[in-house]
Amino acid sequence: MSTILERLEPQVREALEEGHLESLREILAEEHPADISDVLERLEPDQRYEVFQLLDIETQAEVLDRVGQDATRELFVRLPVEEAADLLDELPMDDAVEILTEDVPELKDQLLAAMETEDAAEVQRLMQYPPESAGLLMTEKYVHVGKDLTAAEALQYLQRVDEEVETVSDLYVLDDDNKLIGVFSLRELLRQRPDTRIEEFMETDIVFVLPETDQETVARTVAHYHFMGIPVVDENQIMLGIITVDDVIDVLVEENTEDILRFGAVESDGTDQPYFTIPLFRVLRSRFGWLLLLMVADTLTGTVLRLFDAQLAAVVQLSFYIPLLIGTGGNTGSQTVSTIIRGLAVRDIRFGDIFRVLRRELMGGLLLGIGLSIVAGTRAYIWDGNILLAVTVGFSIVAICTWANVIGALIPMIAHRVGIDAAVVSAPMISTLVDATGLFIYLTIAGLFLAGQMA
């Protein structure tokens, strides 16, 4: 994949510089839209538009499905309205909705007016669904037949199906009220004798989603059942559309990268912008908010230290272990958070399991803490030769690891329960939470063991 890009990008740039547009048109006609979109992403807006204009409308549509938000935007603001509307007509309507609502919202009304009436109506229906919902991923263009057709008739019908229909892998059986009553695969159809009626072999136990269903749930359902697509129906099982497996894959890739960003405490803006194309200022704005919040929370550590400043002054070595202890607490908590987020994501864990989870993590934190405290305590004794300080460090690690493990399990589970994506509970958040509480635990234990030395 990258090798195609490495060959194609210089080719395109050279042809642009030398003005060989006709030969560039021929070169591009041979390339896959996915690769063309990679090159376009790396060009300057004006060059990008120039190259885009060399593509036929089908390729343009496929390219648009793949380039990031900024590139899409910059192409659309340059395109004449009529051309842009024709292009939207060419796209699957779920992609058209994404462009109209997220990429160029200010052109929405103008473009809708210029689109084909039927497509514009579909777009307007789809636009009513909530963000990241099944309704926004679905297309109304799918293959449906009546249950009384024979296999031969269905096959004949398939040969005449509109090119705009994205997939014919699964065929849906609707009754006269458009209620979904069956489904069968093209492959099953091929196996049937020509005069078999669809009703005889269609599957009637149908897995479907509602248009309000969250896109991550849709993706997990399709992954779970190994489907090629999934129907979307309303509460009366009236068929609304289908979601195809390529959109599901896009969702999985998007959620994956979103989770990594969130876990590192970077606000993901839900777009698929390439690293270098996001203006630095926009990145910093989204990062600064989190950092500031965490830093303000971390000023609590100062308060805790002030509270114990007499002890710290009396036993100077106490302060040498502060970074080690809160670091270990933060690391333990981060591990637990990532385990719990994974468990919630793949549905191994439900909120009802909370006590089992807490018991398990409590026990786990205790055992990890005991193991680590033996190493750290011994090290402290060798270093400072103060047995009571070594015991303080040891007990503190046990207490802090246990506490970090419990907090690291509790917070993502509560977030999940109240409907927040558990992945917003980032490693930095847990580290920061454990900083102040861990210090408090450490210095309290120090007060118990080292009281004699502090007098």
Report the site for a copy of itself in 404-433 (rule: CB under 8 A): 423, 426-428, 431-432
Q: Which of 365, 368, 389 is nearest to 377 (CA)?
A: 389
H helix or E strand, kind and range, residue 207: none
Asked whether position 284 contacts a copy of itself by CB under 8 A, the answer is yes
In 3-state terms, the chain is what percent helix, strand and coil (to 5)?
70, 5, 25
Q: How far is CA 430 from the centre of its chain?
A: 21
Give, as ranges, the residues between 187 and 226 that touch a copy of itself (CB under 8 A): 187, 190-191, 205, 207, 217, 220-226
Asked whether position 64 contacts a copy of itself by CB under 8 A, the answer is no
133/335 with CB nearer a copy of itself: 335
| The one segment of 16-24, 114-122, 261-269, 446-454 that binds a copy of itself by CB under 8 A | 261-269
Asked whether position 228 contacts a copy of itself by CB under 8 A, the answer is yes
Contact 398, 430 (CB under 8 A): no
Asked whether position 113 contacts a copy of itself by CB under 8 A, the answer is no
Residue bearing tokens 């192409």? 75
Tokens of 394: 């040891």
291/448 with CB nearer a copy of itself: 291
CB of 19 to a copy of itself, least distance (A): 27
Asked whether position 292 contacts a copy of itself by CB under 8 A, the answer is yes
CB of 366 to a copy of itself, least distance (A): 10
Q: In what order do the strands lie in the sheet with 180-185?
A: 144-145, 170-174, 180-185
Asked whether position 350 contacts a copy of itself by CB under 8 A, the answer is yes
Contact 265, 427 (CB under 8 A): yes
Give, as ranges, the residues between 295 and 334 that touch a copy of itself (CB under 8 A): 295-296, 298-299, 301-302, 305-306, 309, 312-313, 316, 319-324, 326-328, 330-332, 334
Tokens of 303: 């308060």
* SS3 state of residue 50: helix
CB of 37 to a copy of itself, least distance (A): 9
20/350 with CB nearer a copy of itself: 350
182/343 with CB nearer a copy of itself: 343
CB of 32 to a copy of itself, least distance (A): 6
CB of 246 to a copy of itself, least distance (A): 4
Asked whether position 436 contacts a copy of itself by CB under 8 A, the answer is yes
Q: How many CB atoms lie within 10 A of CB 303?
A: 11
Sorted by sequence, the CB contacts under 8 Å of residue 101 that are 6+ apart come out as: 108, 127
Number of amino acids touching a copy of itself (CB under 8 A): 121
Give, as ranges, the residues between 156 and 175 that touch a copy of itself (CB under 8 A): 158-159, 167-169
Q: In whole angstroms, what is the distance from residue 434 CA to residue 213 CA?
A: 35
Tokens of 177: 């009220």
For the four alpha carbons of 190, 192, 196 and 198, in that order, the dihedral sign comes to: negative
